[in-house]
Amino acid sequence: MNDLGASFATAFRLLLSLDPDLLQIVGLSLYVSVSAVAIASFLGMPFGALVAMTRFPGRGALVIVLNAFMGLPPVVAGLFVYLMLSRAGPLGDWGLLFTPSAMIAAQTLLVLPIVAALTHQTIGDLHIEYDEYLRSLRMGRVSSVLTLLWEGRYSLFTAALAGFGRAIAEVGAVMIVGGNINHVTRVMTTSIALETMKGNLALALGLGVVLLAIVALVNALAFELQRWTRQWQGA
């Protein structure tokens, strides 16, 4: 109970002090996770839409795999990227291990199946509705995909948010490929893990509260933005 009270006090003090170390950690967390979500959306949304809009052998199996990978453990994603980027790995020459880029790669891998699977779901429903319309216009594949992605923009935005929630909250992947190096690859979740291990429970919890506040803030902003555009575009 004491710890809890102390941790809230710590959280407030951290937030109010605008401690440069803390700001750097928060900034890196956001940079890594937002980048990962952006890349995953850029790749995963067209991919999910394409899978939803085309019939090909093995499509069912692909969708099952995609859905299964939504539950990919972060440490496994981290391990995979680690193996690719380590000195002996196929991409070892790039020298990316223990850099923010490696962390972005690992989180992208983690978010990609979520975004792709949710997009597949959304676009699948829209495709049933608009298939004949699009074929009636003799629209090409690329334009059709783009049309439906835009039609599903609100649901897809929510899918991206789900991906962001997953990315910003995970610790396993960034720990393995980033290494939690102070001022280089330390993010919020890895600091929390570190402080907990050092026994600084109040500080750890305080950081946890800050993390939660940031996630809540991002979601609130996204929600407002969505409500606002919805009002203007009506859907």
Partner 1 sequence: MDPAVAGRVTSVLPLKLSGVGLTIGQHTLLKDIHHTFTGSSISVVMGHNGAGKTLLLKICHGLIPPTAGRLQWHRPARAKRPCVQAMVFQRPVLLRRSVEQNIRHVLKAGRIAKSETGRAVQQALAMSRLTDMASRPARQLSGGEQQRVALARAWAARPEVLILDEPCTYLDPAATLEVEQIITAFYDAGTKIIMATHDIAQARRLAGEIILMHQGKIAECAGGHEFFGGPCSDQARAFLEGRLWTRGNSI
| Residues in touch with partner 1 (CB under 8 A) | 129-130, 132-133, 135-139, 143, 147, 150-151, 233-235
CB 49, CB 159: distance < 8 Å: no
Q: Which is nearer to partner 1, 61 or 235 (CB)?
A: 235
In the complex, minimum distance from the CB of residue 129 to partner 1, in angstroms, rounded to a whole number: 7
Q: Which is nearer to partner 1, 181 or 225 (CB)?
A: 225
Q: Which is nearer to partner 1, 28 or 126 (CB)?
A: 126
Q: Which is nearer to partner 1, 26 or 149 (CB)?
A: 149
In the complex, minimum distance from the CB of residue 232 to partner 1, in angstroms, rounded to a whole number: 9
In the complex, minimum distance from the CB of residue 14 to partner 1, in angstroms, rounded to a whole number: 43
Question: Could you tell me which residues come within 8 angstroms of residue 44 by beta carbon, excluding any fewer than 6 positions away?
Answer: 111, 112, 113, 114, 115, 116, 119
CA 179 to chain CA centroid, Å, is: 19
**Angle made by CA atoms 165, 4, 214, in degrees to the nearest 5:** 25
CA distance 229 to 158: 14
In the complex, minimum distance from the CB of residue 146 to partner 1, in angstroms, rounded to a whole number: 10
* Tokens found for residue 38: 């952006």
Is 146 exposed, middle or buried, given 0-12, 13-18 or 19+ CB atoms closer than 10 A? Answer: middle
